[in-house]
Structure 1
Amino acid sequence: MGSTSGFAPQGAGSKALQDPAQVRQMIRKGDWTAHTSGAAQAHVQGNVVILPEAFANDFLRYCQRNPKPCPLLAVSEPGQPLLPTLGRDIDIRTDVPRYRVWREGELVEQPTDITTLWRDDLVTFVIGCSFSFEQALLEAGLPLRHVAEGRNVAMYRSNIATEAAGPFSGPMVVSMRPLRAPDAIRAIQITSRFPAVHGAPVHIGDPSLIGIADLSKPDYGDAVAVLPDELPVFWACGVTPQAAIAQARPAFCITHAPGAMLITDLFNHQLASF
């Protein structure tokens, strides 16, 4: 699977594109339908899973048993599209740049608005995203190639198994950022402070050891070069539930498109553990 299709405004460093409410308004209007890497960099972004209430308890247990790839930021009441603990006027039906609609575990549609699909039994789960610790890495002077190149982060299905809960199981999805060895050590130190958004890496170095055959062919997102003096560094990724959903095959489910995240009003520094 390639990068998220759609349009993302250029110049993500501008003041307007660092205000989460303004970015959400652009998303709600359909003016931003692509990945959100680099947008509202000071603010927490979240992966989204929306399931019928009948599956909610099993999925909650799946997240609790797999906190590294599935750190929960919020869970809604059934049928409630607003998420007041994450931000003012967030409406999960309109505020994600691109959604994925699944039926019986198969991806059938990628709309930019799910208002017409909304039901009174749907429960929203928002899961921490590694985009949130990227601000801390950038502030420490660590280069992130996908950000510099305006790309979505590269994501891969690994051979690391998650712990099952009910019908939900499957491989851990990981995101990869190439770093020089000294920068990789610093990245471990920095991201360890952010367990609510995946924390420290799960693997460094040889991708074949975690079942990845070719870094140039990510399962989600965009490939970036790994230079001869760099190591591929892998973090647990909040796209992991999409692999579990494909395995569980619920009759109906909605997720975000990989990289096209929900932008909240929370600040990244609020998630730092120390």
Structure 2
Amino acid sequence: MSVKESLKDLDVHALRRLIRAGGYARHTAGLAAGRLQCNLAILPEAYAADFISFCELNPKPCPIVAVSEPGNPALPDLGADIDIRTDVPRYRLFRNGVFDEEVTDISTCWQDDFVTVALGCSFTFENALMAQGIAVKHIDLDQTVPMYRSDIALAPAGPFSGEMVVTMRPIPEARVQDAWEISARYPHAHGAPIGSGPSAGIGIADLQKPDWGDPVEVSDGEVPVYWACGVTPQNVLMKAAIPFCITHAPGHMLVADVAEDADIPVFKAHQH
């Protein structure tokens, strides 16, 4: 049994304790079944309002599910005991728009003006697809979903602009419409696909050369289907070149207490 298999049945609190203690630092796909998993952007308060506006203008790749108070590492809307400094398997640090390093704990670089923006994640609709008998190849292979830079322009806000990052999953041709309808039920987790087909006209040159994650073969009888991806904010933050910000490492999510099929309200900035 793999380490991943042995952790599959851990409840969300035990899983976060393990991650917090440094006992697990791999991708979180397939763990804590039924719980919401979140992409993250952590940035100084001076930039947070513009970034939140950017997310609200681009809800497909950036569906906000929670925002922290400045300097507070807790996210009480997502879990009573969450400490965002330690509870994600891997983080990525960016300085002046350049990737600096990947770490498993951000306690030593935490700032008292940091705001955490938690965004919905595709793992939610993946679980729904699997529950309806649609296989998700990268999970079966214990890999990270392939992610690609697209040429889909996003609506800008303040210093934040760029193009959408997309994920790809090979779906049996007979189930593509089902996949479309199932994922559309989860607008807080990227919702319905943004396209399908070998090229889909979104600027991907080679499906076997993803920009992040692992390549997944599209077999005969399967159609590549693309969804908006929560790695989009990483691209946008890099392009904005703000002095310092932190994201999750692709595929390494915050696992929340909230049920992934909960009726999560659309975030509005005035609530914060």
Show the 5 A alignment for 1:118-157.
118-157=110-149
The correspondence for 1:199, drawn from 165, 174, 191, is 191
For residues 156 and 91 of structure 1, what CA distance do their matches in structure 2 show? 30
Paired residue for 2:45? 53
Does the 8 Å contact 1:194/1:271 carry over to 2? no
Distance between the aligned counterparts of 1:175 and 1:72, measured in 2?
18
Q: Residues 28-62 of structure 1: CA distance to partner in whole angstroms, max 9, x if unpaired?
A: 11111111111112110000000001100110100
1:11 counterpart residue number:
5
Detail structure 1 runs of 4+ shifted over 6 Å in the superposition.
Answer: none
Kindly provide the amino acid, as one letter, of the partner of residue 5 in structure 2.
Answer: G
Instruction: Report if aligned partners of 2:15, 2:32 keep a CA contact under 8 Å in 1.
Output: yes
Q: Tell me, yes or no, if structure 1 residue 68 matches structure 2 residue 68.
A: no
Please give the residue correspondences for 1:1-274 in structure 2 after superposition, counting only pairs within 5 Å.
9-11=3-5, 14-16=8-10, 19-207=11-199, 209-271=201-263
CA distance in 2, matches of 1:56, 1:244: 13
SS in structure 1 of the partner of residue 262 of structure 2:
helix
Q: CA deviation at 1:204?
A: 0.6
Cα deviation for residue 20 of structure 1 reads 1.0
Structure 1: gaps of 5 or more residues: 1-7
Given residue 15 of structure 1, which amino acid in structure 2 is its aligned partner? D
SS of the equivalent of 1:210 reads coil
Aligned partner of residue 238 in structure 2, secondary structure: helix
Equivalent position amino acid for 1:76 in 2: S
Shift of 1:118: 0.7
Secondary structure in structure 2 of the residue aligned to 1:173:
strand
SS in 2 for 1:74: strand
Inter-partner Cα distance in structure 2 for 1:10 and 1:118: 29
Please state how far the C-alpha of 1:209 moved relative to its aligned partner: 1.1
Once the two structures are TM-superposed, the CA of residue 272 in structure 1 deviates from its matched residue by 7.8
Is the Cα contact below 8 Å between 1:83 and 1:91 reproduced in 2? Answer: yes
Cα RMSD after superposing both structures: 1.4
CA contact 1:176–1:233 (8 Å) conserved in 2: yes
**Number of matched pairs:** 264
State the distance in 1 between where 2:7 and 2:108 align: 34
CA shift, 1:15, in A, is 2.2
CA distance in 1, matches of 2:74, 2:200: 42
Q: How far, CA to CA, are the matches of 1:100 and 1:160 in structure 2?
A: 24
One-letter amino acid of the counterpart of residue 258, structure 2: L
Structure 2 stretches lacking a partner, 5+ long: 266-272
Taking structure 1 as reference, are residues 200 and 12 closer, same or farther at Cα in structure 2, changes over 3 Å only? farther
Rounded Cα–Cα distance in structure 2 between residues aligned with 1:116 and 1:54: 21
Does the Cα contact within 8 Å between 2:8 and 2:32 map onto a contact in 1? Answer: no
Structure 1 residue 14, shift from structure 2 partner: 3.9
Identity %: 51
How far, CA to CA, are the matches of 1:268 and 1:181 in structure 2? 26
Which residue of 2 is the match for residue 5 of structure 1? none
Q: What displacement does 1:269 show?
A: 1.7
SS at match of 2:242: coil
